[in-house]
Structure 1
């Protein structure tokens, strides 16, 4: 019976070397490898290679910052029912996407996301002496009734931001004074670090970015576009053709499945990737970078994966509140 067990055990081994199999054949039942964590990627692909260093998870010493603990129970909701036909990109309706922020820098405009009464989340490459942050805005060329504007009291870039590798492209802006939440100004829900959207999942990107790259003008009306999340292995492969390594801190969008020939463009940086879960929208990404022109069919657009930076977000807000 023991010989049969050993034979089955050897057949189940995933080690490719015959020498390893012979080793276990000689010692089956007498040797146990130490249990080590497996490497698991975000698209649920599992690697059976043992990592050289076990991951270290350092819990936050003080839990959630007070501002995030006090986020309203209706985070990630809006005062308008969204049409399920957001396909090729269209004008966002009034009172929609109340966490969308219009971020005006010294030489560029970007988007950001309201996550607490005094905090905006955006990407690091958008930080450029921020002059004004506007909330509750749908149109760029008009001042609407419920529009709120603040200046930046503090700008904090992630310490590992690297413009060349595109890593750590995330930043926090502390507002000059807190905002009061209402139907037009409301924070998005933040996911926990372990919450990763299941593929396939449909989300929405929003922004005022260019719709015609030749005009070099941002769109006057906030645009919304339904997208899918691309499996991480596929994204890594496609970007490797361009010589760029996609990290776990990146999440890629698949426009071909929902909106062929559409995509994000200049002015959309820092905009939210909002994914609906159980009736609420959660922030899973921030517009980071695209390849070449704004409309492409092969290389996916890349967003900063927010779940990879949740510890940094919590700790940064805690020590600066």
Structure 2
């Protein structure tokens, strides 16, 4: 009976609640201030709720993030390290258009990627820069060590949110690691559009609402934090950016002023 109950609950345990709070980094450390000038901190209003996500600057007037970070109103903060202080480096820009991938599915997490068009161009400088995207359909080799960053809780057991950007190094796993992970299943994992990231032997991971932040491999944004176990344990799932390069390029060209 207990075994049957566990099997019933396991799929539920791997879903991230819509609108989860921003940037939980488990097992990491504070980032060097402004060492990741492409990072964006999103403040999102959805009906009567307010929450946060991560994102990253890919053009002077476009931020890439996760589709499940959509809302009624979004403000982007660029050039931030301490989000509780009014740093001179910070640029706060309203989002004028949210472009979710046309095939995004909230239930399956398929195509969990979104472009945000800013009301005006960001001013690029040492604290605010673009990050490069990968070539279309070129995959990251398993075993590659990448990194992810965000603002938020440092433990699944604590609700205390640090003020400063935190980061952690993570290993990219084989495409079959998530579907075949022992003791649990990732029934919604799709190899073509998702990446399996984080060594289960290490207590290091992104978490709820680091959502939208970039998985950076070799100075390119290869993944977007998407979903994973609600207890924060690795491996976790990222949207595979290289799959969406044609859509990203086409959409930005169409909307560029």
Q: TM-score, normalised by structure 2?
A: 0.83
Kindly report the root-mean-square deviation, in angstroms, between the aligned alpha carbons of the 2 structures.
1.8
Counterparts in 2 of 1:249 and 1:239: CA distance versus 1, 3 Å: farther
Post-superposition offset of 1:262: 2.1
- In the alignment, the residues of structure 2 paired with residue 219 and residue 129 of structure 1 have an alpha-carbon distance, to the nearest angstrom, of 26
Any stretches of 5+ residues in structure 1 without a counterpart?
1-86
Pair 1:109-2:52 in alignment: yes
Pair 1:318-2:253 in alignment: yes
1:261 maps to which residue?
203
- In the alignment, the residues of structure 2 paired with residue 158 and residue 131 of structure 1 have an alpha-carbon distance, to the nearest angstrom, of 17
- In the alignment, the residues of structure 2 paired with residue 183 and residue 136 of structure 1 have an alpha-carbon distance, to the nearest angstrom, of 9
Pair 1:216-2:154 in alignment: no
- In the alignment, the residues of structure 2 paired with residue 240 and residue 170 of structure 1 have an alpha-carbon distance, to the nearest angstrom, of 29
Any stretches of 5+ residues in structure 2 without a counterpart?
1-25
Counterparts in 2 of 1:180 and 1:221: CA distance versus 1, 3 Å: same
2:6 maps to which residue?
none
Q: 1:285 aligns with which of 203, 223, 232?
A: 223
Q: Which has the higher helix share?
A: 1
Q: Helix, strand or coil for the counterpart of 1:238? A: coil
Q: Which has the higher strand share?
A: 2
Pair 1:96-2:35 in alignment: yes
Greater shift, 236-245 or 107-116, is seen at 236-245
Pair 1:136-2:79 in alignment: yes
Write out per-residue CA displacement over residues 76-104 of structure 1, whole angstroms, 9 at most, x where no aligned residue. xxxxxxxxxxx941000112100000000
2:213 maps to which residue?
271
Post-superposition offset of 1:235: 1.7
Greater Rg, structure 1 or structure 2? 1
Q: TM-score, normalised by structure 1?
A: 0.67
**Equivalent residues in 2 for 1:141-152, closer than 5 Å:** 141-152=84-95
Write out per-residue CA displacement over residues 86-124 of structure 1, whole angstroms, 9 at most, x where no aligned residue. x94100011210000000001210000100000000000
Aligned residues: 226
Deviation >3 Å, runs of 4+? none
1:252 maps to which residue?
196
Q: Is the 8 A contact 1:102 1:110 kept in 2?
A: yes
